[in-house]
Amino acid sequence: MPYTNCLQLSTIEYLDLLDDIPYKYIKKMIHEDDDEYVYDVEIIDLDCERIAYCRTQFKLTLNVDISQGALPIYVDKTFTIVKEYNNSSGIALTMLDLYDSDSDSDEEE
């Protein structure tokens, strides 16, 4: 299922993706609080063995300052988060909103 590849901070917070990332990497992201900025996220559906549950993998790429001095040095750091949720939950409805129906129509043509 193709999903959008960019998420706003409010959606990332709603999906609880920040809970699994150390604070030192996300503190700048939280303090900026700019909901117009979008973050690169790769969303992949995984097989789930539990009945009536869904499992999804999120790969969130952040541009992180690794320097300790005055001149910042930025590198891309990727975090992989796997979430399991009930298919009738609010998270499942949010995932439906993230579904990119345009890519399906492109594949059919």
pLDDT tens-digit series, residues 35-61:
667 888 999 999 988 888 999 999 998
Q: How many domains is the chain built from?
A: 1
Q: Is the pTM of this model over 0.85?
A: no
- What three-state secondary structure class fits 84? strand
Q: Tell me if 96 is assigned to some domain.
A: yes
Domain-embedded: residue 17: yes
Task: Say if CB 2 and CB 100 are below 8 A apart.
Answer: yes
Q: Is residue 106 part of a domain?
A: no
Interval 7-29: pLDDT, tens:
888 888 888 888 888 888 887 77
**Alpha carbon distance 21, 35 (integer Å):** 19
The pLDDT of residue 4 is 85
Report how far residue 5's alpha carbon sits from residue 74's, in angstroms, rounded to the nearest whole number. Answer: 21
Domain of 10 in residue numbering reads as 6-101
